[in-house]
Structure 1
């Protein structure tokens, strides 16, 4: 019999009737949360089995979450279809329970904070959010637009719940600053009207009616003793409060707010609000498990939405503006940190995973960041606590490896991600192999890197073209390394490079995003055509027609140079030097302008990460910006990305040269102006990978009081 803490001392008997009574509800929530906890321990099958036994909205939501996690970790179409069907069922059940609670409030859960049925509204909104993500990952443009419409409706619901919470806290004077609705320091618009600073911080659509449940779209054609790996139980009243305060009161967030604010008054205000958010525990406001579920779930979902919307690249943001969305990253992160305090339940555990993923993934890719933008102490504490609570999950090993990579400890990252037995979740195993392979690429362990990506082909169906391309790129590098010392070995590597790279076209174009081919597929498809064309034009082997190191190029787009130590950066420079060594590469003299620009851009990036800013700037000016766009476009199957990306790299150089946020204002202005040039540039390949960095850089500069001229 599974242990249950908090509200119930033993496993609850859950009503199997379609409608829950107020008495049934806590038991149903308790059982669903205890079962869903297995998800965070990589035992999704057990979670699905247990959750399938219940019919409440909480069980439906938990089951949908399990399938959703499988879908987003693996991007497998059949899993996404199954998740979509489950999410539709969860939406329907939650909507029906909410309607019943509204029709007869006397039979619904009685909350002093939220309106009758708010818990079901939250379940409905969470299901809509997950459904929206699945729809956007779908290859259909129509389905993607449906997803944005659901996102809009979920946004409205979450905003309404957060406003209920804010009004209660204001009415009772019970620490309004702790509410996710009130921690926002910027104003927002709701239905086109300005609202006070304590509102959600997000531009939300006009309120829609409670009965608006149908989509207005029509489908178009188209090494220690083994730890106890059982997950923690859901604590309805969360008695174990002392543990939650072990480390999450870190004041790094306060430092971040104060260091990035444009003036002293704003700095003090931001720090005060952030501190209030950290000091006040919502569990001191209420001990009702339903209310705590609503609070933590709203903080998770609203926080995630605000963070995601704040990260949208400039080009994509234009589409979202049609749906009236605007994010607030600081507000969103405060909400996620707040939700992570409830790490014993699925909302808090997911918030912790998302928070770690945001900093170790998205932020770790960015260059223009203020001091304290990554709260390292707080993140390490959160990771440790999550590993203690969910020791069976390998997701936390992935996050630890990413932290090590961000600290330029790639070799340790390779070691940590391979520790222990395989996860019970195959999608997590695929992620581990993929992460290890990327780190092997940054460590110049090309053989292991290639083998790892080939292994990914058998583990994940999302992007075989990418896996084969990355493996082939490694074999190109191995061919170049051994071509002079061991001709026979080199020929073997050449054959493997040609084999895998020519497999790539068979696998590109089969996956899509919003009805369009994936940008990476477009990129690698063109590269293979370019090298075939050059081999025919130059009357040489295919492998000899490959241009500037494709491994270095991939390292750039995956932010690998940021993870390299000094020795690894030196090796990258040596691999780049092969291109213009006429003794080893007889074709350099006839190379086109786009390849020369690519070489200069990659070399300059290595210089920048070595701290050689003047040399990086000079290389960009002489080797990249000396070419104009017309000259680049005149090349055969050209690489046009180095020109706009050079302006981004120059912006980062100015940022570093200025001394970052507290530095010379004129130099920071140059940084801003260079970012503006990239923002105004025409569309180019893989621009989304640079777009996130630009969005983050622009936000950082804005907080410094620097805007485009």
Structure 2
């Protein structure tokens, strides 16, 4: 029976109960549970694109849980829109929430009903969650002082959350529950059938909990808590049917995939599900799902920062753990509440954002088999289906569906979905949807749509108008070049696109610098300013028009920097290669010769082209281009307007090329056709070890590179690659080699 079905559905009135000190302990507990239920039910409207409705309901309560819900509403608006006024409002609300939670924690009864966590833990979680959100807003804020305060809050939240997880682990150990720490194993998926049934039935119906078939895993279990459990009590003995024991005494799955869910992995992980014996108390569910969500976000966030910054964080006590963070987020998604929904949203941001941006990742097969650092496409699709069922009115989940299509190399499908997803109740979601549409039209070379969509971004969002104007101008520039080189020239169209391109590109630097990150200019705005200044100086020096002074296609350069290449089909890649030819230039022959002679200009073209060739499988050509870039004297990249990212990007590309060869040992050159099976296997192992070491060496070199404008963007790719290599070495016994 689903003990939590009633309170998850939100059957209590929209009131906040404030019992008198003389009230019975039972009344106090009932009041707290009613507040949890009401606040979380109201807050869940956020995930259905109804922030206004959530705020209206939450304002009717005065508990710490309602205060947290109000903080979440403003936080979501602030991180989705990056608007300074909303960030300030979010900071104020979250500070108020911290104060309320701290006071409530101090007043919490010593004989708390929770069996698992210390008294007042629910308020400690609210305090930590408010600190975490407040820290994220502070770091995104323009002020360095606010950012420093944010890091202090992060540290306090980290300590609180770590303490909650340790308390949980100690309780479970005391109850005879062995903590599982399998490296490549995620908690089971949320039960779609149960969630849907729970939502469709009456307010207080006592529902049977319907188990959905789950993918079974026979991976081994390790020694520390990673989010799923194995019970060792007498009761668990009854659950061991269907298991076998191998020669080492380890429990293994007896049946094949799809058999009855009584395997060790499936059964043990279900012990921490929403219908488990461990969670009979709504307070415990609130703390468990919330702590996994918050600590998972924190561990994942710290693990994603670029290498140089992550070393600094480790010195002051922050240590990220990508694998544990991802597992904790998946564990939180098992619970049908706002915590699970936020955890799901973060997972999609991670998979469709960061991993969609990275290149050095486990294969899809490895990811589906449990490689935590990989992209489990099928599992993400199942989670998305769950969220769409639970929040059918939300356009946020449709946006993630489109991003998933794009990452599956179906950009036209993503564009079609995004074009029909523009009617969100939340302006911030509409802005995100439009920005994603702008990028996708850029990838496929629909320059008119790209221009129009980036100009609409200016109307919807004020995060970086400089970047939006620049990208719209780049689209106009490509339209100008296409008209200029057309067989049947139309002078009217040529001049129209040329004038508009110059107008938009020159507009970009004039609105740069209005947004800052920790008192520093945004990297892409610095990039834009340097580019436009470079073209202005070149036009003056060569005595040509501004639009004709542009060299390598800036659109294709941005495609590379956003890694749209990873999302393209072969015909789209061939189009990108065509756009990178020098023949697209519109300057005179003499001016073109001088533009091509600029070392940093040719290096940028070679890096972009190398990435396209890699995606097309032309690895030798890609390698040759990168090596040419690295052979250039580093002084050629020094200067206020030089493209200083070209050499570290080429170094990173060589790491990616090595990783491609790790995954495809058949590409190696063999000379002995009569080699034995054992000899062939040994040769493959030696090849993979050699290429893994080569990949690691290139990544290490990029990680230690001196500062350059886009080091954070390339650094994130490097950090993901390093995480992948750590996983690969561990899985293949290369740690000690």
Q: Deviations over 1:457-496 (max 9, x none)?
A: 0111111111001101111111111113322212111111
Assess if the C-alpha contact under 8 Å between 2:655 and 2:699 holds in 1. yes
Tell me how far apart the structure 1 counterparts of residues 170 and 205 of structure 2 sit (CA, whole Å). 24
Of the structure 1 ranges 564-573 and 349-358, higher mean CA displacement relative to structure 2 is found in 349-358
**Are the aligned partners of 2:297 and 2:329 in contact in 1 as well (CA < 8 Å)?**
yes
Deviates more, 1:665-674 or 1:578-587: 578-587
Matched, 1:654 2:689: no
1:143-194: CA deviations, max 9, x gaps? 10100100100111101111111011000014543xxxxx4769xxxxxxxx
Q: C-alpha offsets along residues 631-654 of structure 1, whole Å, 9 cap, x if unaligned?
A: 3326x7211111111000011111
* 1:495-510 pair list within 5 angstroms: 495-510=499-514
Contact between 1:6 and 1:237, CA under 8 Å: does it hold in 2? Answer: no
Q: Give the 3 Å change call, closer, same or farther, for CA 660–306 of structure 1 in structure 2.
A: farther
- 1:254 and 1:275 in contact (8 A); partners too: no
Q: Is the 8 A contact 2:217 2:266 kept in 1?
A: no
* 8 A Cα contact 2:396 2:429, kept in partner: yes
Structure 1 residue matching 2:580: 3-state secondary structure: helix
* Cross-structure match for 1:159: 162
Q: Distance in 1 between matches of 2:204 and 2:310?
A: 41
Are the equivalent residues in 2 in contact too, given 1:368–1:697 (CA < 8 A)? yes
- In 2, are the aligned partners of 1:296 and 1:348 still within 8 Å (CA)? yes
Matching residue within 64, 69, 93 for 1:62: 69
Q: Distance in 1 between matches of 2:123 and 2:580?
A: 57
How many Å separate the matches in 2 of 1:617 and 1:549? Answer: 21
1:602 aligns with 2:604: no
Unaligned runs of 5+ in 1: 178-182, 187-228, 258-264
Q: Which residue does 2:271 correspond to in 1?
A: 280
Cα distance change on mapping 1:579 and 1:99 into 2, 3 Å? farther
- 1:401–1:584 distance in 2 versus 1, CA, 3 Å: farther
How far, CA to CA, are the matches of 1:241 and 1:529 in structure 2?
67
Q: What is the aligned counterpart of 1:631 among 629, 636, 650?
A: 636
* Displacement of 1:252: 7.7
Alignment of 1:427 with 2:420, yes or no, is: no
The residue aligned with 2:226 is none
**Residues 586-633 of structure 1: per-residue CA shift (max 9 Å, x gap):** 5331121100111111111100011111111012123x1221211332
User: Is 2:399–2:421's contact at 8 Å kept on the other side of the alignment?
Assistant: no
Match of 1:353 in 2: 345
RMSD: 3.1
Q: 1:367 matched to which residue of 2?
A: 359
Displacement of 1:239: 6.5
Deviations 1:550-591 (A, max 9, x none): 000111111111111101110111110145779976533112
Does structure 1 residue 449 correspond to structure 2 residue 454?
no
Alpha-carbon separation, structure 2, partners of 1:172 and 1:446: 62
Question: Is 367-376 or 13-22 further displaced after alignment?
Answer: 13-22
User: How far, CA to CA, are the matches of 1:605 and 1:305 in structure 2?
Assistant: 32
Aligned 8 A contact 1:250 1:378 in 2: no
Write the deviation string for residues 666-707 of structure 1: whole angstroms up to 9, x where unpaired: 122111111111111101121111111111111111222267
User: Which among 119, 122, 127 is matched to residue 119 of structure 1?
Assistant: 122
Q: How does 1:371-382 map to 2 (within 5 A)?
A: 371=363, 372=367, 373-382=374-383
Q: How does 1:325-336 map to 2 (within 5 A)?
A: 325-336=318-329
Q: Residues 582, 293 of structure 1: CA spacing in aligned structure 2 closer, same or farther, 3 A cutoff? A: closer
1:273–1:294 Cα change, 3 Å: farther
Contact 1:299 / 1:336 at 8 angstroms: preserved in 2?
yes
C-alpha change, 1:346 and 1:692, in structure 2 (3 Å) is: same
Change (3 A) 1:82 1:579: farther
Alignment CA distance shift 1:474-1:39 (3 Å):
same
Q: Residues of 2 paired with 1:139 and 1:586: CA distance?
A: 45
Structure 2 contact 273–334 (Cα < 8 Å) conserved: no
* C-alpha contact (below 8 Å) 1:578/1:584 kept by paired residues: no
Q: Could you say which residue in structure 2 is the equivalent of 1:404? A: 405
Q: What is the aligned partner in structure 2 of residue 703 from structure 1? A: 727
Partner Cα separation in structure 2 for residue 121 and residue 75 of structure 1: 28
Q: Deviations over 1:261-297 (max 9, x none)?
A: xxxx99x999999767644334311211111010000
Contact 1:184 1:331 in 2 (8 A): no
Distance 1:707 1:586 in 2: 55
How many angstroms apart in 2 are the aligned matches of 1:61 and 1:236? 25
Aligned match of 1:616 in 610, 616, 622? 622
> Matched residues in 1 for 2:283 and 2:533: separation?
58
Q: 1:15 to 1:450 in 2, by over 3 A?
A: same
TM-superposed deviation, 1:406: 0.7
Deviations 1:45-66 (A, max 9, x none): 0001110111101000011001
Who is 2:416 aligned against? Answer: 415
Q: Is contact 1:139-1:514 (8 Å) kept?
A: yes
1:675/1:707 Cα in 2 relative to 1: closer, same or farther (>3 Å)? farther
Residues in 2 aligned to 1:75 and 1:516: alpha-carbon distance in whole angstroms: 16
Question: What is the CA-CA distance between 1:319 and the residue it aligns to?
Answer: 3.0
**Pairing 1:488–2:501 present:** no
Match of 1:464? Answer: 465
Please state whether the residue corresponding to 1:22 is helix, strand or coil.
helix
Q: How many residues align?
A: 643
- Contact 1:404-1:410 within 8 A present in 2 as well: yes
**Partner residue of 1:76 out of 66, 79, 83:** 83
Distance 2:546 2:201 in 1: 59
Task: Kindly state the Cα deviation for residue 317 of structure 1 after the two structures are TM-superposed.
Answer: 1.2
| 1:15 paired residue number | 17
Q: Match of 1:317, SS?
A: helix
Deviation per CA, 1:514-565: give whole Å up to 9, x if none.
1111111111111111110011001111000111000001111111111111
> CA 1:421–1:640 in 2, change beyond 3 Å: closer, same or farther?
closer
1:541 is matched with: 545
Within the candidate set 640, 664, 667, 2:691 is matched to 667
Contact 1:148 1:323 in 2 (8 A): no
User: Is contact 1:453-1:471 (8 Å) kept?
Assistant: yes
1:137 corresponds to which of 121, 132, 140 = 140
What's the TM-score, normalizing by structure 2? 0.82
Structure 1 residues 10, 62: CA separation in 2 closer, same or farther (over 3 Å shift)? Answer: closer
CA distance in 2, matches of 1:25, 1:610: 59
Which of these residues, 716, 729, 732, is aligned with residue 692 of structure 1? 716
Match of 1:221 in 2: none
Q: What are the Cα deviations for residues 110-149 of structure 1, in whole angstroms up to 9, with x where unaligned?
A: 2111111000000000000000001101111111010010
Q: Residue 164 and residue 184 in structure 1: after superposition, are their counterparts in 2 closer, same or farther (change >3 A)?
A: farther
1:218 equivalent in structure 2? none
**In 2, Cα distance between the equivalents of 1:273 and 1:703?**
24
Partner SS state of residue 327, structure 1: coil
Aligned to 1:309: 302
The change in CA–CA distance for 1:302 and 1:545 in structure 2 (over 3 A counts) is same
Structure (1 or 2) with the larger CA radius of gyration: 2
| Aligned-partner SS, 1:704 | helix
